[in-house]
Amino acid sequence: MKYLLGSLTDTRRFAEIVAAHVRPRDMIVLAGEMGTGKTTFTQSFGRALGITDLITSPTFNLLHNYGSGRMSLHHADLYRLERTGELEDLGLDELQDSGGVIAVEWGDIVGDELGDALVLRFEHAEDPTSSAASNAASATAQTEMRGVTVSSRGAQWESRIRKLVEELAANFKVLARG
């Protein structure tokens, strides 16, 4: 399912809803081009988990760990991953086993290697129901528009994904089904 996030506020609300559905050991793959909101999502997601530290982009360090929430959050970014061995070096498996939630920006570049996951794909979007004229009149509003496609893979999410997508559909405009 693909939803319209019409503003930063929507992205924050979206992150809060996702956070309410996660459990320890969950993997969240964050996909989408630069500047589409993967880090922004994670900041609100982490705050919703009760993390009080400042959550910053792990683009350069590859991995940041936050322990102050109701679950620990491990926030990785694979954009600068140079060889597949580096993925193992990050030790995400162990962090997952220890009960943390893992959020991985550019997690799609390693295919299915991260295993069972909730997959959130962000993109720039337009609201199909608002007219071109009103969009032009509100350039700011348009730069804040994102689409997010929500899917999952594996048994870990199978029993939960339906509830999540239904709750999201009740909160955000659906841009595409399936």
Ligand X SMILES: Nc1ncnc2c1ncn2[C@@H]1O[C@H](COP(=O)(O)OP(=O)(O)OP(=O)(O)O)[C@@H](O)[C@H]1O
Task: List interacting residues with ligand X (CB under 6 A).
Answer: 5, 7-8, 10-11, 32, 34-40, 57, 59, 105, 144, 146
Q: Which is nearer to Mg ion, 103 or 117 (CB)?
A: 103
Rounded Cα distance between 37 and 69, Å, is 21
Triad 112, 118, 121: Cα angle to 5°: 85
Q: Are strands 117-124 and 146-153 parallel, antiparallel or unpaired?
A: antiparallel
**DSSP letter string over 58-91?**
-TTTSEEEE-SSSS-EEEEE-TT--STHHHHHHT
Q: Which is nearer to Mg ion, 56 or 171 (CB)?
A: 56
Triad 153, 78, 60: Cα angle to 5°: 150
Q: Which is nearer to Mg ion, 39 or 44 (CB)?
A: 39
Q: Which is nearer to ligand X, 131 or 140 (CB)?
A: 140
Residue 156 binds which one of Mg ion, ligand X, none, with CB within 5 to 8 A depending on kind?
A: none
Among 57, 130, 142, 151, which residue interacts with Mg ion (rule: CB under 5 A)?
57
Fill in the per-residue mask, 17 to 46: x = in contact with Mg ion (CB under 5 A), - = not in contact. Answer: ---------------------xx-------
Nearest residue to 102 (alpha-carbon basis) of 68, 75, 65, 66: 75
Q: Give me the least distance between CB of 147 and ligand X, in Å please.
A: 10
Length of the chain: 178
Residue 146 within binding range of Mg ion, rule CB under 5 A:
no
With CB under 5 A as the rule, give the number of residues binding Mg ion. 4
Give residues in contact with Mg ion (CB under 5 A).
38-39, 57, 105
